[in-house]
Amino acid sequence: MKTLTISFCLLISSLLSAQTYSGNQEDIDIILANIEAFSEDVMKGNAEALGMAYTEDAKIFPNNMDITHGRDAITNYWLMPKGVKIKYHKVIPEEIKVTEDEAYDYGYYEDTTLRPDGTEASWKDKYVIVWKKVENDWKIHLDIWNSLPAEYLPLSSKTNHLSPHFHQSQFFRQKELQANQACEAYFLQ
C-alpha cells in the first residue's frame, strides 16, 4: 500500500509541472528555439529582432491595452522606455500543438524588470500564442498575455510588482508542498 501511495504522490508532483507537445517534432523544435530567442531579444532590448519574430500582419493583445496590428507597430511596442531594462525573461510553455502550417502554445512567462529608479519587479504571467509557418520558419501571428488577480500573489510579493501578477512558480511550489505534506501525513499515521 505504501508503494502505491508513493507512486501516487510522485504522479501528483509530476502533473504539477507537466508539458504537452504534439505534432511534427522538427516544427516543435523550431518553435522552442524561437521562444528561447524571443526571451534573449527581450533581455537585449532588441525591438527590431522582436518585431521580426512576428508575421507581417500579426496582432498582439497586451494586458489592459488595445490590440496592436502589424509588425511595425509591434516593433514599436517592444521599444523599452528610457531607464527600463528587462534583466530576466523566460517563457515556459505548458502545451505546444502543431497542425500543418499553424500551431499554438500557451503557458507562463517570467520576467524581472529593472526600473529607472533602480528597483526591480519580478513576476510570472500567462500567455497564448498562435504561430504561422512562414517558409520554413515559425512566426508569431497572434500573441496575448495577461495577469491573474492580485489575490493569487503571495502577500510578500504584492508590493514588488509593476502591476498585480500571479507568481505561478510559487503557486506550484505551494501545491507541491501541500501534496508532499499530505503524503508525509499518510506515512506518519
3-state SS, residue 46:
coil
Mean pLDDT, range 162-178, rounded to an integer:
40
How open is the CA angle 14-16-22, to the nearest 5 degrees? 80
Cell numbers found for residue 178:
501541500
Indicate if the pLDDT at residue 14 is higher than 70: no
At residue 147, the pLDDT reads 85
Phi, psi dihedral angles at 16 (to 5 degrees): -70, -20
Mean model confidence pLDDT for the chain: 80
For residue 84, give every residue at least 6 positions away whose Cβ sits within 8 Å of its Cβ, in sequence order, or none: 113, 114, 115, 116
Residue whose C-alpha cell reads 501516487 in the numeric block? 8
2 confidence band (pLDDT: 50, 70, 90): low
| Cβ 93 vs Cβ 106: under 8 Å | yes
User: If we measure between CA atoms, which residue out of 107, 104, 79 comes closest to residue 91?
Assistant: 107
Which one has a higher pLDDT value, 184 or 58? 58
At residue 166, the pLDDT reads 33
At residue 148, the pLDDT reads 63
| Cβ 134 vs Cβ 160: under 8 Å | no
At residue 150, the pLDDT reads 56
Q: Rounded to an integer, what distance in angstroms lies between the CA atom of residue 110 and that of residue 35?
A: 13
Percent of the chain with pLDDT over 90: 63
For residue 77, give every residue at least 6 positions away whose Cβ sits within 8 Å of its Cβ, in sequence order, or none: 60, 62, 68
